[in-house]
């Protein structure tokens, strides 16, 4: 199958150098590689945000990256791309008129705008993955462009299929007006060759260690006040987030047990995760932290929001707790940290679950099934081989 991927703001190329901490760029890179490994012809189109890269880059993972000039060759916030989407649309339409792909897979709403417009009238089905929805970001207090929510609704209705990352997102898309029958739930995948139980682990100072993404870490910091002999390592976060979390650690008098390490390159992340007794995910549930921790054989305690409710099996691979409730989080953590055998059992089950459900090969096969539904083409043998 000939697959055109559009990822306007998130190039997969930094991922090849292990320079990114995880996000849309990693998802696009890993999915494109898995699709190429399954025998598909994959081209990723991304906006040129630097003068350095060549127009076309042939990656060692089997797919091509095409850089499109759309706006200045400098980094821009994803939601600042709207004025430059005409240039991206014209380029894509010209490419697809000359060399028609079987399917287009757009990532994020800006890519969806350009893809739907470029494919109009060409008979090329568009599959859309939003990654995040403007309506939900407004609820969380994030500023989004006024046109974003209405545009996402339009894209959802125009796309042949929409891929949701979890059942919560599917419900959000239905509320947005996307027909339920055109939504497929396909979670983010995990590189199980990199994220695995065996391998180096970082040293620690305390008897126990928690690792948490910056998103939602304020609840973990508050819970730490009544979780003793335990240090917390917080990964990721912007400068403003880290200042806020540092202040929260001071307020709760746990500053000496909290380390804010910021962005961690993916090449170093497995060793950090393996060093944890528990990985705690208290935020929106949009990250792949639960799957990556579970792949490393580490139990996860997560808030009942977003993809974590699909990923973590309560009482089997970890625990689910109410969101925004540090006391409930502390009540879950204290007995779990005190019970080595229980943590080991959770970790073994967690790694097994990721191997069976969340490997990039499995996710690529499920994505191909969505392409098959969108195009009406027969399902390739490579995708069928991953059944079950």
Tell me what the mean pLDDT of segment 101-112 comes to.
97
pLDDT at res. 388 = 38
SS3 323: coil
Tell me what the mean pLDDT of segment 239-252 comes to.
95
* One CATH from 3.40.50.2000, 3.30.360.10, 3.40.109.10, 3.30.930.10 for 2-189+359-384: 3.40.50.2000
Q: In this structure, are strands 2-6 and 103-107 parallel, antiparallel, or unpaired?
A: parallel
> Is the predicted pLDDT of residue 167 greater than 50, yes or no?
yes
pLDDT at res. 149 = 86
Structure confidence by residue, pLDDT tens digits, 58-100: 999 999 999 999 999 998 988 789 999 999 999 999 999 999 9
Task: Name which CATH class applies to 208-357.
Answer: alpha beta
Centre a 10 Å sphere on the Cβ of residue 258 and count the other Cβ atoms it contains: 22
> Is the predicted pLDDT of residue 133 greater than 60, yes or no?
yes
Question: Which residues 6+ apart lie within 8 Å of 372 measured at CB?
Answer: 378, 379, 383
Span of 266-270, 354-358, 383-387 with lowest mean pLDDT: 383-387
pLDDT at res. 173 = 95
Mean pLDDT of the chain: 92
Question: Are residues 329 and 282 in contact, defined by beta-carbon separation less than 8 angstroms?
Answer: yes
Measured over the CA atoms of residue 134, residue 137, residue 141 and residue 143, the dihedral's sign is negative
> Is the predicted pLDDT of residue 19 greater than 60, yes or no?
no
Centre a 10 Å sphere on the Cβ of residue 207 and count the other Cβ atoms it contains: 11
SS3 73: coil
> Is the predicted pLDDT of residue 170 greater than 80, yes or no?
yes
> Is the whole model's pTM more than 0.85, yes or no?
yes
Element (H, E) at 57: strand 56-58
> Is the predicted pLDDT of residue 381 greater than 70, yes or no?
no
pLDDT at res. 22 = 57
φ/ψ of 314, rounded to 5, equals -60, 125
> Is the predicted pLDDT of residue 310 greater than 50, yes or no?
yes
For the chain, give the percent of residues with pLDDT over 90: 81
pLDDT at res. 138 = 54
Q: Return the domain boundaries, the chain.
A: 2-189+359-384, 208-357
Span of 119-133, 146-160, 197-211, 275-289 with lowest mean pLDDT: 275-289
> Is the predicted pLDDT of residue 353 greater than 90, yes or no?
yes
């Amino acid at each position: 199958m000939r697959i055109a991927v559009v990822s306007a703001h998130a190039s997969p190329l930094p991922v090849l150098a292990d320079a990114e901490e995880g996000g849309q760029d990693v998802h696009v890179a890993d999915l494109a590689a898995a699709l190429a490994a399954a025998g598909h012809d994959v081209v990723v189109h991304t906006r040129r945000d630097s003068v350095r890269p060549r127009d076309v880059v042939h990656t060692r993972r089997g797919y091509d990256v095409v850089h499109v000039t759309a706006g200045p060759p400098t980094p821009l916030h994803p939601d600042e791309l709207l004025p430059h989407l005409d240039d991206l649309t014209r380029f894509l339409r010209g490419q697809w008129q000359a060399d028609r792909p079987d399917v287009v897979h757009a990532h994020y709403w800006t890519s969806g705008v350009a893809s739907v417009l470029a494919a109009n009238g060409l008979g090329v089905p568009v599959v859309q993955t939003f990654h995040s929805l403007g309506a939900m970001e407004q609820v969380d207090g994030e500023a989004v462009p006024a046109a974003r929510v209405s545009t996402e609704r339009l894209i959802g209705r125009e796309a042949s299929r929409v891929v949701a990352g979890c059942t919560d997102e599917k419900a959000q898309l239905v509320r947005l007006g996307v027909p339920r029958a055109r939504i497929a739930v396909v979670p983010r995948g995990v590189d199980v060759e990199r994220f695995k139980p065996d391998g180096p682990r970082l040293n620690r100072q305390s008897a126990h260690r928690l690792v948490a993404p910056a998103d939602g870490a304020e609840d973990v910091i508050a819970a730490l006040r009544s979780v003793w002999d335990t240090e917390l390592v917080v990964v990721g976060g912007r400068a403003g987030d880290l200042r806020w979390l540092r202040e929260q650690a001071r307020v709760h008098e746990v500053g000496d047990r909290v380390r804010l390490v910021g962005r961690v390159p993916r090449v170093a992340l497995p060793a950090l995760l393996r060093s944890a007794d528990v990985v705690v995910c208290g935020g929106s549930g949009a990250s792949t932290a639960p799957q990556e921790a579970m792949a490393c054989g580490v139990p996860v305690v997560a808030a009942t929001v977003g993809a974590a409710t699909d990923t973590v099996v309560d009482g089997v691979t970890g625990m689910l707790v109410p969101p925004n409730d540090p006391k409930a989080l502390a009540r879950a953590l204290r007995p779990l940290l005190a019970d080595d055998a229980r943590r080991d059992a959770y970790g073994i089950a967690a790694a097994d679950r990721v191997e069976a459900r969340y490997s990039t090969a499995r996710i690529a096969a499920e994505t191909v099934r969505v392409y098959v539904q969108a195009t009406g083409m027969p399902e390739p043998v490579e995708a069928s081989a991953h059944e079950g």
